[in-house]
Amino acid sequence: MRDLLKYSTKALTTLAFALMVVACQTTPTSYIKNVASGGALGTSYSITFLSSNELNMDTEIDSVFVVINNSMSTYLASSDISRINRGDSTVEVDDLFRDVFVLAEKVYKETNGYFDPTVGSLVNAWGFGPGVAIHMDSTQVDSLLQITGFNKVELLDNGRIVKKDPRIYLDFNAIAKGYAIDQIAKLMEVSHIENYLIEVGGEIVAKGTNKIKQKPWVVGIDDPQIEQGRRLKITLQLKDKAMASSGNYRKYRIDSLTGEKYVHTIDPKTGYTKNGKILATSVISNTCAEADAYATAFMAMSLEQSKEIIKNNRDLEVYIIYLTNENTVAEYMTGGFKKLILP
């Protein structure tokens, strides 16, 4: 894996171009199922792709994860984002970082700041990031809110990041995983692979259909009320779309002294963990990065706030599981999402 760290964005682009040249072929009449799986980005991945012959794309897939990590992993000390967080103003970010920054800025504005990549300091302080968790009280929260706000960060034309306060901590984990999946999808496209299902830590991109079974790709959404083990809440068919889900049912911590439960969703408006009415969100969109970002934002927003965003964005199909005022479980879903659900 150390050798893979030598990959650069330029190398990945060259690799993709080479694949495009050698992989050009007519549509196959029969298909072979190829599977790639492993661990990356702090989670597991499973990729199924169909072709006319056996293909091993492990090296190419690993190189995508390596490039993403080198650019945006807060868990990698040498990454661009880690260096920026330490105050290195000489870093000139790559095109991948630019893409994520621009999309994050768009979603930040559209959600009125509920999607905010500068909550990194709060994420660390509450014990959900690579930083050291601290005892949080109103004074600590108020202090960290002073260095929170994506409007306090600017990307210059030369690729350098300017922060209004050097203590601002960037964290793209709520969008970078989806973006990585989109990059793997592009790798499939330039390899002329037209039917594939990519899953990384529950985030998904599906293209074409399962030609071997002559069926659509079928994916599931976990029941958020099951904390131990897994049970699917619904299954649906997905084609030429991406889906990302978020929920507090697995990512939480229990304070060893007080026994209090803290969920991983941070409300960027208050600075506190969000023990709210929203149990889980799933978003279908054209890209997984976009779906990832909105699924995160909808966890922090009220249902009515989310509905307003959804109404103004026709690219989104959404499923939200929430608690009513009577603490009963209820569901909201858009019409387009409902059409994809399997009986």
Residue range(s) defining the domain that contains residue 131:
3-338
Strand runs labelled E in 43-178: 43-51, 153-155, 161-163
- Structurally, the chain folds into a number of domains equal to 1
More confident residue, 24 or 210: 210
In a domain, 118, yes or no: yes
In a domain, 162, yes or no: yes
Give the chain's mean pLDDT: 86
Q: What is the mean pLDDT of residues 15-26?
A: 45
Question: Could you give the CA distance from residue 176 to residue 165 in angstroms, rounded to a whole number?
Answer: 23
With 90 as the cut, is the pLDDT of residue 251 above it? Answer: no
In a domain, 343, yes or no: no
In a domain, 174, yes or no: yes
Question: Could you give the CA distance from residue 72 to residue 77 in angstroms, rounded to a whole number?
Answer: 10
Q: What is the mean pLDDT of residues 105-127?
A: 89
More confident residue, 247 or 111: 111
The long-range contacts involving 152-161, CB below 8 angstroms and separated by at least 24 positions, are: 152/118, 153/118, 155/93, 155/98, 155/101, 155/102, 158/92, 159/91, 159/92, 159/93, 159/94, 159/97, 159/98, 160/89, 160/90, 160/91, 160/92, 160/93, 161/84, 161/89, 161/91, 161/93
Neighbours of 1 (CB within 10 A): 7
Strand runs labelled E in 52-195: 153-155, 161-163
In a domain, 16, yes or no: yes
Q: In the prediction, which pLDDT does 199 show?
A: 97
- The structure tokens listed for 341 are 């659900």
Lowest model confidence (mean pLDDT) among 9-13, 114-118, 198-202: 9-13
CATH of the domain at 301: 3.10.520.10
With 60 as the cut, is the pLDDT of residue 342 above it? Answer: yes
Q: In the prediction, which pLDDT does 271 show?
A: 77
Neighbours of 221 (CB within 10 A): 20
Q: What is the mean pLDDT of residues 116-127?
A: 83
Q: What is the mean pLDDT of residues 193-207?
A: 97
Q: 44-70: per-residue pLDDT in tens?
A: 999 999 999 999 999 999 999 999 999
Q: What is the mean pLDDT of residues 74-87?
A: 95
In a domain, 305, yes or no: yes
Total H helices, total E strands in the chain:
10, 14
Lowest model confidence (mean pLDDT) among 100-104, 147-151, 204-208: 147-151
In a domain, 307, yes or no: yes
In a domain, 213, yes or no: yes
Q: 217-241: per-residue pLDDT in tens?
A: 999 998 876 666 677 889 999 999 9
